Chains A and B, each alone.
Chain A
């Protein structure tokens, strides 16, 4: 009977059926998107061919006709290195400045965030003036300001370099630091392997101590013992293998310093600007995270008889970190993307050397911009994958 009544009801005309409509709409969208992308691609290829540029990846094997000044890990030889090498050097330099920036911004950001929460009025005001100043001025302006208006004009020349114990030097050309030099390769490897083994030992120790504490309630001074292992064991290995790693100090030659680890001024300014700028944002994140921990938590922990250090270490910090880490990771990604502003001070990272110089030299706009974007997309997708994984992990911790 029931079936009859439905069949007797007036059938929905096909153009009013939501399922059919959705299908038609999506098919149209797909057509429009494919058609526009196709047109754009074919127009670009035709336009490039009209300018005498054959789009393709062949140019990657050609020799790059320009010099690259800063490349600490990948060797660049003018007249031998190809465009592919230039691309890799660009990625390498992006990673270098981002890594240095992330480390410095995190340290400075934590200091600023904690200062902002200080009960001391003056300290907290200084931190909030810092935050409001740095985050409301465009980063590009800050990079240009530090590089051109402050460092380049106010730092002394190589002869009058500012020095820190005659080992680290800062002048208007850059920052010069001692560099570790391997004297015996086998010995250096032994020290590295011993170091890794010590690290693994500490992890095992941490697990054992945690299990013992869960079972018996006895605590073990993991931190100090691990520290001792991490310092003593590799040092011992270092001396037993006969000091396989020496130190090369930068030396003042005729025009500038030679040897040692060198950081060109462009990198130094970029690093300085990126870290001070991002630190303002991380500072706010840290403050928000610590304030997100309910005051009752601190009181409950004190009521249980934990002393101040334990309250911080066992109750406040673990809960605050859960709030701090996700936005901090997005800030790290922002810093990495912002490192592309290097083009303004001519530090040779991906955008400046690849989308800038290499593009001008070859005219391969399509391939070069696409490769640049792919690198950033990979970085950003990796970051969101890490974030999702982290959020998934901390969700399990919750009730």
Chain B
């Protein structure tokens, strides 16, 4: 019997390469340049961060109902202002003044959140039907609740809508209404008929080449001129039309990406089965193409969500304009930093949330072939 050599157990790694110290050596102090950069960053952060924390939290004013509290302590942020004007900033002028009606937009929002939550569940039967139902029916439910006339509630005219609610309405109506248009345009751009293709390309490039603000100017100044006198649109409707036309070009480009990603074999197989153009498109091509283009559409939705803030230039009271207007009222003049930061925070939460979700989607939808 030969004796087996028993090696000694491995020594633990040196203390300087494990734990907190090792992590710091590797990630913060690995070379002279890195040491310098770390120290420089720490120095800059030590100047900026404490000031911001002091202003926004420690010295901030949270309580009270008018500006006397804030004026007495001008070194901190005046969150009192946001607190007092919260309803107005979130739901606009009408609901800002009629606090007893505020359950209506809140209910509409809760229904939407519930439905979207259901749709986000990974395994759910009849998901497609539910999705279609949300797209087609929910807008009417929301309109009935927020406008109020159909349900016999006090009427809130669209001219009095505003705040975060209006931002949501504009962005979601824009993306939903642009979807069918975008699908048709994307199909048109890949059509074999030269005129259809030329028309789609012209349409898409026209809107993509123009800044949204010009489109909104056009919608608010020129739309009434386009129709015979007597046809009238309200301001929100005009903005929605402008946003939809603009957005459909970007949606079309996102869907075109999906269409291009589908292998030729799918088209040929559908042809071999004897399917006509529409059957082939609706049953074979679009279900696959739309799935691939979801991340692209979601990304264009984030851009649209941010861009809806431009309607404040044509005088609509969206989240940005509502916050700004509130901070320019006589009672709260001078607290515009708080107004902008609050609006920025709301925008940031939604955009960042959606973009993280879209990254997650890209990973799950990616089936490596």
Kindly specify which of B122-130, B144-152, B223-231, B289-297 makes contact with the partner chain: B223-231
Q: Using A44-B226, A138-B309 as known contacts, say yes or no to A123 and B37 having CB atoms under 8 A apart.
A: yes
Across the interface, do A40 and B193 meet the contact criterion of CB distance under 8 Å?
no
Across the interface, do A365 and B38 meet the contact criterion of CB distance under 8 Å?
no
Assembled-state Cα–Cα distance A274/B340 (Å): 17
- Please give the residue numbers on chain B whose beta carbons come within 8 Å of chain A beta carbons, in ascending order: 27-28, 30, 34, 37-38, 41-42, 45, 192-196, 199, 205-206, 208-211, 213-214, 217-218, 221-222, 224-229, 302, 306-307, 309-310, 312-313, 320, 324, 336-337, 340-341, 343-344, 347-348, 351-352, 355
Across the interface, do A50 and B229 meet the contact criterion of CB distance under 8 Å?
yes
Nearest neighbor of B356 in chain A, beta-carbon distance: A132
Sample of 13 more A-B contacts, CB < 8 Å, known A138-B320, A338-B211: A47-B224, A120-B34, A126-B41, A136-B348, A136-B355, A138-B347, A140-B310, A145-B337, A150-B337, A340-B213, A369-B214, A376-B210, A380-B209
Assembled-state Cα–Cα distance A115/B337 (Å): 29
Assembled-state Cα–Cα distance A302/B63 (Å): 63
| CB<8 Å pairs between A and B, sample of 26 | A26-B194, A29-B195, A29-B199, A47-B229, A118-B37, A119-B34, A120-B27, A120-B34, A122-B28, A122-B41, A126-B41, A136-B302, A140-B309, A141-B309, A141-B340, A141-B344, A149-B336, A340-B211, A340-B214, A351-B213, A351-B217, A359-B221, A366-B222, A369-B217, A376-B210, A380-B210
Across the interface, do A48 and B225 meet the contact criterion of CB distance under 8 Å?
yes
B344 / chain A contacts, CB cutoff of 8 Å: 137, 141-142, 145
Assembled-state Cα–Cα distance A30/B310 (Å): 34
Across the interface, do A123 and B211 meet the contact criterion of CB distance under 8 Å?
no
Instruction: Classify the interface of chain B: helix, strand, loop or mixed.
Output: helix
Assembled-state Cα–Cα distance A20/B27 (Å): 69
Across the interface, do B320 and A144 meet the contact criterion of CB distance under 8 Å?
yes
Assembled-state Cα–Cα distance A150/B340 (Å): 11
Across the interface, do A141 and B313 meet the contact criterion of CB distance under 8 Å?
no
Contact of B313 among A145, A337, A344 (CB under 8 A): A344
Assembled-state Cα–Cα distance A149/B333 (Å): 12
Q: Using A43-B227, A50-B229, A138-B347 as known contacts, say yes or no to A343 and B213 having CB atoms under 8 A apart.
A: yes
Assembled-state Cα–Cα distance A138/B313 (Å): 13
Tell which of B27, B206, B352 has the most Cβ of chain A within 10 Å: B27
B41 / chain A contacts, CB cutoff of 8 Å: 120, 122-123, 126
Nearest neighbor of A45 in chain B, beta-carbon distance: B225
Shortest B120–chain A CB gap in Å is 20
Across the interface, do B34 and A351 meet the contact criterion of CB distance under 8 Å?
no
Across the interface, do A30 and B214 meet the contact criterion of CB distance under 8 Å?
no
Number of interface residues of A (CB under 8 A): 54
B30 / chain A contacts, CB cutoff of 8 Å: 119-120
Contact of B225 among A44, A355, A373, A381 (CB under 8 A): A44
Across the interface, do B222 and A133 meet the contact criterion of CB distance under 8 Å?
no
Q: Using A22-B193, A343-B313 as known contacts, say yes or no to A120 and B208 having CB atoms under 8 A apart.
A: no
